[in-house]
Amino acid sequence: MFNAVKIIDVKNSIGEFTRNLRKQRGLTQDDLASQLGLSRLTILKVESGANFKIDTLLLIFQYFDELATLNDFFKNHNNKFGPIKSLY
């Protein structure tokens, strides 16, 4: 069930993606933190692949207009399952 991709690899990829989005907009970590009502340390944690809350990630993706992209990814993958009968 587990493959070669490790959780830390995904977290690092998310961090790199977030950093690239921020830099593309010409924002510092302080700028982004201020815009989102977060601390610079929180932005640093996301960008460095440290532990962060999913709500923080979603807020960042929303700020950069990437929330729909993430939602589409999950919707497309959910469609692969087809209808699933509830176990409850």
CA of 56: how far to CAs of 27, 42, 82, in Å? Answer: 17, 8, 30
pLDDT of residue 1: 58
Give per-residue pLDDT as tens, 18-50: 999 999 999 999 999 999 999 999 999 999 999
Q: What dihedral do alpha carbons 38, 32, 8, 70 form, nearest 10°?
A: 100
Judged against a pLDDT cut of 90, whether residue 63 lies above it is answered with yes
Q: What is the CATH number of domain 7-68?
A: 1.10.260.40
Give per-residue pLDDT as tens, 71-82: 999 888 887 777
C-alpha 52/C-alpha 47 separation (Å) is 10
Give Cβ neighbours of residue 70 (< 8 Å, ≥ 6 apart): 58, 61
Give per-residue pLDDT as tens, 12-23: 999 999 999 999
Q: How many residues does the chain have?
A: 88
What is the percent of the chain with per-residue pLDDT over 90, rounded to a whole number? 76
pTM: 0.83
